[in-house]
A = this chain, B = another copy of it.
Amino acid sequence: MPLKQKLYEIIFEADTPKGKLFDVTLLVIILISILLVVLESVPSINARHHDLLRIMEWVITGIFSIEYLVRILVVKRPLKYVTSFYGIIDLLAVVPTYLSLIFVGSQSLAVIRAIRLLRIFRIFKLNRYTMAGKNLAMAMKASREKIFVFLFFVINVVLIVGTLMYLIEGPENGFTSIPTSIYWAIVTMTTVGYGDISPQTPTGQFLASALMIAGYAIIAVPTGIVTAEMIRTSNQTNTQVCPHCLYDKHENDALFCKKCGGKLN
């Protein structure tokens, strides 16, 4: 087997022991590199270990750069890899460090490497997790019209309530402009409630109360949408109809109709 194919199997597949070892090593390096970026931003740690952190950061970036180039070299259709989701993420994982030579601080963006951890699902029982992910994505996609209508409604409410609060409370109570008031309305309706801005006048508090109860109650809407969709998709996995009694809600592992005992085919 030529070197190129050997490397391909190690780097792109996780079935062989070497391929598995490669993936696990990669995951550990990714985790370390995220930790490095995070730690570098902590002033007290950066002050003491700045040089060490920078060196390690460059070493890891070097490893990732070489890995990226090797991937391009060994894959059959390099262009397809480069423009694929994983290819773009692999590139974005090294760019911030090089960019930090020009723009100070941009190395923090290297946390995007976290997305590379998606490969983790390749190692352990790939199938079950991607199935779970696909089911979630499917339920989301099937309900996207309802979610769009819901978001349209939410945006309208925060826009109008935000403006009303700006008129009611005014700049003297922290509602300095309509964008700020809209920000407050979002903070309130989503039940986050920082408290950096809060209504002071009775009218404002009354309107805010109505917004809170609305936000508290309408969380039921996206929940209902997604739940109904998930139940629907989880019921759709078996489409068999009993030829004897026409019953059509069979579980995936059913061999005989649970209603009449007839054989399913």
Interface residues of A (CB under 8 A from B): 34, 37-38, 41-43, 105-106, 108-109, 111-112, 114-115, 117-118, 120-121, 128-129, 131-133, 135-136, 139, 145-152, 154-156, 159-160, 162-163, 166-167, 171, 176-180, 182-183, 186-196, 198, 202, 205-206, 208-209, 212-213, 215-217, 219-232, 234, 245-251, 253-263
Minimum Cβ distance to chain B for residue A242 (Å): 10
Contact of A146 among B135, B232, B263 (CB under 8 A): B135
**Are B259 and A245 in contact (CB-based, < 8 A)?**
yes
Q: How far is the CA of A156 from the CA of B89 in the complex (A)?
A: 13
State in angstroms the CA–CA spacing of A156 and B215 once bound together. 19
CB–CB A149/B132 < 8 A: yes
Copy number of this protein in the oligomer? 4
Knowing A132-B146, A215-B190, A228-B231, the reply to whether A261 touches B253 (Cβ < 8 A) is no
List, in ascending order, chain B residues with CB within 8 A of A178's CB: 37-38, 41-42, 108, 111
Other-chain residue from B131, B152, B205, B254 in contact with A145 (beta carbon distance below 8 A) = B131
Given contacts A136-B149, A178-B37, A259-B247, contact A224 B221 (CB under 8 A): no
* A interface majority secondary structure: helix
Query: Which residues on the B side are within 8 Å of A129 (C-beta)?
Result: 145, 148-149
**A259 nearest CB across to chain B (Å):** 6
Contact of A154 among B38, B155, B213 (CB under 8 A): B213
- In whole angstroms, what is the CA distance A186 to B146 when docked? 27
Which residues of B have CB within 8 Å of A248? 253
Contact status A192-B188, CB under 8 Å: yes
Q: Are A187 and B193 in contact (CB under 8 A)?
A: yes
Q: How far is B150's CA from A145's CA once the two chains are assembled, in angstroms? A: 22
Q: Closest 5 A-B residue pairs measured CB to CB?
A: A256-B261, A192-B193, A194-B195, A190-B216, A132-B145
